[in-house]
Chain A
Amino acid sequence: MSEKVLLIDDEKDFLEVMSERMQNRDIDVTTASSAREALALVEKESYDAIILDLQMPEMDGLQALERLKAINPELQVILLTGHATVEKGVQAMKLGATDVLEKPADIQTLTEKIHKAHARKIILVEKENEEKIRAILGSKAW
């Protein structure tokens, strides 16, 4: 099953070429050129992983990460940045980022991180389903 990924970056040339490379690797990619556009998409759609640029106009990556996590705490967000300071990286992880990668990134490494994010999401969904089933079983008088 191919991963469903949302790629967020204000550099349109980057979005274009990166999404084509991901598609060549059987990844189902949607792109957003602003955090606002991404937030609207996340409200409507479910994604296995989100690749988010740390520095964007108006709403930066960390603010966007906070907002994304508020919509769905289980979202797997990988931060991609040209400005990876240790401080920002730590801040991102504290806010719930799955991983932080520096630009220019190696597509192989990024793809592996997407696979891992997808696997983590499956585990979280299965755990959630299990809890729901337990709750249903516990509430019924068999």
Chain B
Amino acid sequence: MSTVAGTPSEQGIEFFGRMTASISHEIKNALAIVNENAGLLGDLALLMDKGRPLSPERLTTLAGNIRRQVQRADDIIRRLNRFAHSAHEPAASVDLGEVLAFTLALAERLATMKGITLSLAAGEPVTVEVRPFVLENLLWLCLEQLFAAAGSGATITLAAEAEGGSALVRLSCSAGTEVAAVATGVEEGAGRPLLAELRARLGVAPAGGELLLHLPVRRIG
């Protein structure tokens, strides 16, 4: 990911490319399992022809495996479709918790590749007026830098809450994580135009280990 601040649209293309590459890999994995299960059905039919018995339970298991992977691929494609549409959606009032949950779903595979677990803390609904794609992009930049700072084995928890007249996103990791460096990296790098568009700012919790994203509830202009 580029570390040079660009315009939101440049960032958007980079973010879109990164997420769709990851999603296409997930789909390929599901298709590979469907392909092998279908191939195994063919193998078993040939073996049955040669006299090896084949139980109905075996066929039921294989059908179940295929159905599970089709469901998995369908979930991934639904996510891709929602993500694709979010790229051209104008600013709207959205539930912040829902945007966090969706961003975590997008980032989950990339987090797993780094040995990191992502979780979402339950909280009261908070509505913000944003372009969801821009917020997802900014959250991803924060997460990506947190992956590197927190390291393999870490858990990153996201939470949304109301903060007076504005909204707050907490990105919590273990106390020793260098979140101040992450905040600086995002603010001075690729996140700058996104923070400006969202009129948001980043901070660090005094206790450490927590990156804070302050968002206005309403857009101006």
Contacts and interface: CB of A to CB of B under 8 A. Distances in A.
Contact of B47 (A11, A24, A57): A24
12 contacts: A11-B33, A13-B33, A14-B32, A14-B33, A17-B36, A20-B40, A21-B43, A55-B113, A58-B115, A83-B21, A103-B32, A104-B31
Given A14-B36, A17-B40, A21-B36, 4 more contacts: A11-B32, A82-B25, A104-B31, A107-B39
B37 A104 contact: no
A71 B24 CA distance: 33
Given A24-B43, A57-B113, A58-B115, A103 B31 contact: yes
Given A17-B65, A21-B40, A24-B47, A58 B28 contact: no
Question: Range of interface residues on chain A?
Answer: 10 to 19
A interface SS class: loop
Query: 4 closest Cβ contacts across the A-B interface?
Result: A82-B28, A104-B35, A103-B32, A17-B36
Interface string B21-51: 1001100110111111101100100010000
A104 B25 CA distance: 11
A42 interface: no
Contacts of A20: 40
B212 to A, nearest CB: 29
Interface residues of B, number: 24
Contacts of A104: 28, 31-32, 34-36
B6 to A, nearest CB: 23
A105 interface: yes
B34 to A, nearest CB: 8
Contacts of A18: 36
Contact of B37 (A17, A24, A103, A105): A17
A104 B69 CA distance: 13
A60 interface: yes
Chain B CB within 10 Å — which of A55, A82, A107 has the most?
A82
A55 B26 CA distance: 11
Interface in A103-131: 103-105, 107
